[in-house]
């Protein structure tokens, strides 16, 4: 837990100045609270001791503090929250970057609901590290030191008062490890609740089609109950820690009174001072033991965040990238690869795709056609064999450069919940509308888009749900045709297109990939494709096919 929290703090290093500044304000604010009560105490004590000048003078100083203290408290809260939220926003972006880096082929077995929970809920929990842990600890320490200084005249009194207060300050460190397990469980269950909500909603039609509403409700109910149990155990720890904190602060009051009772009336002034200081400390230090549960929650959030963010990258980036070759000739030699160990999908595969060549790869579903395009775009690295682009091994080339040279229209190509134009411009930022229309025309969907009242500005809906399957596929196709990449890999480009649309698209394919190499991955050919060669993928190898 502590290592995770330390890593979070390192992650927040760029915000160090703001975080430290807020801490300073918090300390000053806490000290002003001590000063207010100390002066009030002095005033009362002096008044009771029949009118010392010091007592009334002390009360004069109370007046500006009465105004200053709430102001400082407000400033402390604003600056500390502003700094903490900046750090949280940074963390969210960092997390997304990491995922993109570590899961370039998609989120795989991790559900999107689970990851959403991590980026929203678990990142939110991190603010407790600072706001609930570091910050109050700093303020509490300042208060404790001030009390030590003010009571230094009576060492035994100081010791009696400060011991319970110091104990309240270190209590969270003792409580946190035990609370960590409960916090971890609560965080996991919150993730479970989110998954229970997202999973059936992501496949809403299929959930409904199976009349699985009742089962989805049961799952939600179970997840909610589990979360409640987890939260309750954490709340219990927090509540009792809070009670302990209040008690420790009050113990300081009792200690001061006890010291007075034992010592007699001479030191009564000091007792009153100690009493009021203890009351002031209750505010700063009494809440401190709760920090244990807060730190544990933050630690659990950090654990879950790093666990997802530390998924190993499937293909490491080269440390000394080679220069991009100008030629787009692809040569694959002796490739072996499998997604599961011991089950190779591709075995001793050879392929040469000359510059400007158009080759089709045929094969039944599951034969490894999509795997091949994953290898070519460095979403995975071959277990054996080499892939050369223009003579350079792609292992030595940066993945981003490879992906701008080789564009894949995969089966999972997704339209985002944004406008058609924005979805297309993903592939070519800043492309003029005319280019977008040309790409749409090649994909055979321009007329349809023109017929929409909002044209290019029509929103696609999540995953392109605004359109029929064939229309969405064609927009994705237009997007793949847009960038000027040297090599185009189309994985079943005509899925969901009717026969007439398919013929029309294949007729434009020759012009669409003019001057580019084309790898057409498909399970059947219509005969209309403008191809140079046809290969068949079988048994993990590519063989020439008689088309």
Partner 1 sequence: MRQARVQAWRVALPIGLGLAVTACQVAVAFLVARILTTLLGFSTGGGWGDLAGAGALMLASAGLGGVQELAQQSAGEHARARIRAALFARMLELGPADPRGVGEKAALLVDRVEALDGFFARWLPAMTLAVLSPALVVALVWRADWVSALVLACLGLLVPVAMALTGIGAARESRRQLDVLGRLAGRFVDRLRGLATLVQFNRAEDEARALGAAAEEFRWRTLRVLRVAFLSSAMLELLSAFTLGYLAWRHGALMVGRGASDPTLSLFVVLMVPAFFAPLRAFSAAYHEAMSARGAAAELAPLLEALPAAGLLLEEVPRRVALVFNEVELRHPDAPKPALSRLTFALAPGEVLMLVGPSGAGKSSVLRLLMGFARPTAGRIAVNGQDVTRLRPSELRRLSAYVGQRAHLFGGTLRENIRLARPEASEAEVIRAAEAARVMAFAAELPQGLDTPVGEGGHGISGGQAQRVALARAFLRDAPLVLLDEPTASLDPGTEAEVMEAIARLCTGRTAIIATHSAALLGLSGRVLELGDRRLADAG
Residues within window 74-93 making contact with partner 1, judged by CB under 8 A:
74, 77-78, 81-82, 85-86, 88-90, 92-93
47 near partner 1, rule: CB under 8 A: yes
The Cα 35–Cα 137 span in angstroms is 19
DSSP 286-342: TTGGGHHHHHHHHHHHHHHHHHHHTPPPSSPPPSSPPPPPS---EEEEEEEE-SBTT
Among the listed residues 9, 18, 111, 421, the single contact to partner 1 using CB under 8 A = 111
448 near partner 1, rule: CB under 8 A: yes
Residue 377 CB, shortest distance to partner 1, in Å, is: 7
- Please enumerate in sequence order all residues whose Cβ is within 8 A of that of 303, keeping only pairs 6 or more positions apart, or say none: 1, 4, 184, 187
For residue 343, give both structure tokens: 């089950």
Residue 345 CB, shortest distance to partner 1, in Å, is: 10
Choose among 490, 508, 506: nearest CA to 498: 506
Among the listed residues 5, 34, 40, 175, the single contact to partner 1 using CB under 8 A = 40
Residue number, 9 or 413, with CB nearest to partner 1: 413
Give the footprint of partner 1 on residues 323-342 (CB under 8 A): 339-340
403 near partner 1, rule: CB under 8 A: yes
**CA 74: distance to chain centroid?**
30
Residue 94 CB, shortest distance to partner 1, in Å, is: 8
Side-chain-facing half-sphere of 320: CA atoms under 13 Å? 0
Among the listed residues 7, 16, 181, 414, the single contact to partner 1 using CB under 8 A = 414
3-state helix, strand, coil in the chain (%, to 5): 65, 10, 25
Give the footprint of partner 1 on residues 452-471 (CB under 8 A): 452-453, 461-463, 465, 467-471
Among the listed residues 21, 73, 503, 507, the single contact to partner 1 using CB under 8 A = 73
Contacts 24+ apart (CB under 8 A), 504-510: 504/444, 505/442, 505/443, 505/444, 505/474, 505/477, 506/530, 508/441, 508/442, 508/444
Give the footprint of partner 1 on residues 112-131 (CB under 8 A): 112-113, 115-117, 119-121
Choose among 516, 320, 498: nearest CA to 409: 516
Residues in contact with partner 1, shown as a per-residue x/- string from 357 to 386 under the rule CB under 8 A? ------xxxx---x------x-x-------
β-partners of residue 542 are 537
The Cα 403–Cα 288 span in angstroms is 52
Residue number, 169 or 407, with CB nearest to partner 1: 407
* 329 backbone dihedrals φ, ψ, rounded to 5°: -75, 130
Among the listed residues 141, 228, 380, 446, the single contact to partner 1 using CB under 8 A = 228
For residue 340, give both structure tokens: 């599961």
Residue number, 266 or 514, with CB nearest to partner 1: 266
For residue 17, give both structure tokens: 């100045």
Residue 496 CB, shortest distance to partner 1, in Å, is: 6
Residue 498 CB, shortest distance to partner 1, in Å, is: 4
The Cα 371–Cα 386 span in angstroms is 15
Residue 205 CB, shortest distance to partner 1, in Å, is: 5
434 near partner 1, rule: CB under 8 A: no
247 near partner 1, rule: CB under 8 A: yes
250 near partner 1, rule: CB under 8 A: yes
First-to-final CA distance of the chain: 61
Tell me how many residues contact partner 1 (CB under 8 A): 166
396 near partner 1, rule: CB under 8 A: no
Residues in contact with partner 1, shown as a per-residue x/- string from 274 to 313 under the rule CB under 8 A? -x---x--x-------------------------------
Choose among 450, 460, 468, 373: nearest CA to 425: 460
Give the footprint of partner 1 on residues 488-547 (CB under 8 A): 492, 495-502, 523-524
Choose among 123, 44, 28, 140: nearest CA to 84: 123
394 near partner 1, rule: CB under 8 A: no
Among the listed residues 8, 55, 299, 534, the single contact to partner 1 using CB under 8 A = 55
Residue 336 CB, shortest distance to partner 1, in Å, is: 18
Residue number, 1 or 505, with CB nearest to partner 1: 505
Task: Work out the burial of residue 142: count CB atoms within 10 Å of its CB; fewer than 13 is exposed, 13-18 middle, 19 or more buried.
Answer: buried
Residue number, 181 or 232, with CB nearest to partner 1: 232
Which residue is associated with the tokens 């049961």?
Answer: 218
Residue 501 CB, shortest distance to partner 1, in Å, is: 6
Among the listed residues 429, 430, 515, 527, the single contact to partner 1 using CB under 8 A = 429
The Cα 127–Cα 121 span in angstroms is 11
Give the footprint of partner 1 on residues 186-215 (CB under 8 A): 190, 193-195, 197-213, 215
Residue number, 105 or 356, with CB nearest to partner 1: 105
For residue 134, give both structure tokens: 């570091």
Alpha-carbon dihedral sign for residues 530, 536, 541, 544: negative
Residue 44 CB, shortest distance to partner 1, in Å, is: 5
Choose among 308, 330, 448: nearest CA to 378: 330
400 near partner 1, rule: CB under 8 A: yes
For residue 154, give both structure tokens: 């009576």
Residue 2 CB, shortest distance to partner 1, in Å, is: 27
Residue 61 CB, shortest distance to partner 1, in Å, is: 10
Residue number, 413 or 441, with CB nearest to partner 1: 413
163 near partner 1, rule: CB under 8 A: no
For residue 243, give both structure tokens: 């009670």
Torsion of CA 161, 289, 167, 66, to 10 degrees: -30
Please, are residues 193 and 120 in contact by the beta-carbon 8 Å criterion?
A: no
Residue 108 CB, shortest distance to partner 1, in Å, is: 5
Among the listed residues 6, 145, 426, 543, the single contact to partner 1 using CB under 8 A = 426
């Amino acid at each position: 837990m502590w290592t995770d929290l330390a890593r979070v703090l390192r992650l927040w290093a760029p915000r160090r100045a703001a975080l430290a500044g807020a801490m300073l304000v918090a300390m000053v604010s806490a000290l002003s609270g001590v000063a207010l009560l100390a002066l009030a105490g002095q005033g009362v004590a002096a008044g009771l001791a029949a009118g010392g000048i010091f007592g009334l003078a002390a009360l004069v100083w109370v007046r500006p503090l009465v105004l200053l203290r709430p102001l400082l408290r407000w400033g402390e809260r604003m600056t500390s929250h502003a700094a903490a939220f900046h750090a949280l926003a940074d963390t969210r972006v960092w997390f997304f970057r990491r995922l993109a880096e570590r899961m370039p082929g998609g989120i795989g077995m991790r559900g999107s609901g689970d990851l959403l929970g991590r980026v929203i809920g678990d990142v939110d929990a991190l603010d407790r590290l600072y706001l609930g842990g570091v910050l109050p600890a700093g303020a509490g320490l300042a208060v404790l030191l001030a009390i030590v200084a003010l009571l230094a005249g009576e060492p035994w009194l100081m010791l009696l008062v400060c011991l319970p207060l110091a104990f309240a300050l270190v209590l969270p460190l003792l409580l946190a490890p035990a609370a960590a397990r409960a916090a971890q469980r609560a965080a996991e269950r919150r993730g479970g609740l989110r998954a229970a909500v997202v999973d059936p909603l992501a496949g809403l039609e299929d959930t409904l089609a199976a009349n699985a509403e009742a089962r989805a409700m049961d799952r939600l109910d179970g997840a909610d109950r589990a979360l409640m149990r987890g939260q309750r155990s954490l709340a219990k720890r927090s509540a009792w820690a809070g009670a302990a904190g209040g008690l420790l602060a009050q113990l300081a009051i009792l200690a001061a009174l006890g010291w007075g009772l034992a010592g007699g009336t001479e030191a009564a002034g000091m007792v009153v001072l100690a009493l009021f200081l203890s009351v002031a400390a209750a505010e700063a230090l009494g809440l401190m033991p709760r920090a244990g549960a807060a730190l544990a929650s933050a630690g659990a959030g950090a654990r879950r965040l790093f666990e997802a963010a530390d998924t190993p990258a499937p293909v490491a980036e080269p440390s000394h990238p080679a220069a991009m070759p100008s030629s787009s000739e692809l040569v694959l030699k002796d490739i072996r690869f499998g997604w599961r160990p011991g089950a190779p999908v591709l075995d001793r595969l050879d392929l040469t795709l000359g510059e400007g060549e158009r080759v089709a790869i045929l094969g039944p579903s599951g034969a490894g056609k999509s795997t091949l395009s994953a290898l070519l775009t460095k979403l995975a690295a071959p277990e054996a064999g080499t892939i050369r682009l223009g003579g350079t091994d792609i292992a030595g080339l940066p993945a981003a450069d490879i992906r701008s040279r080789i564009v894949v229209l995969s089966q999972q190509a997704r339209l985002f919940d944004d406008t058609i134009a924005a979805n297309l411009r993903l592939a070519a930022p800043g492309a003029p509308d005319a280019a977008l229309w040309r790409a749409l025309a090649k994909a055979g969907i321009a007329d349809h888009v023109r017929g929409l009242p909002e044209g290019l500005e029509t929103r696609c809906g999540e995953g392109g749900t605004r359109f029929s399957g064939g229309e969405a596929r064609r927009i994705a196709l237009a997007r793949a045709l847009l960038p000027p990449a040297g090599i185009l890999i189309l994985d079943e480009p005509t899925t969901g297109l009717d026969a007439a649309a398919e013929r029309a698209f294949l007729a434009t394919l020759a012009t669409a990939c003019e001057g580019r190499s084309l790898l057409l991955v498909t399970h059947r050919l219509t005969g209309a494709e403008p191809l140079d060669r046809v290969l068949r993928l079988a048994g993990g190898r590519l063989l020439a096919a008689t088309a």
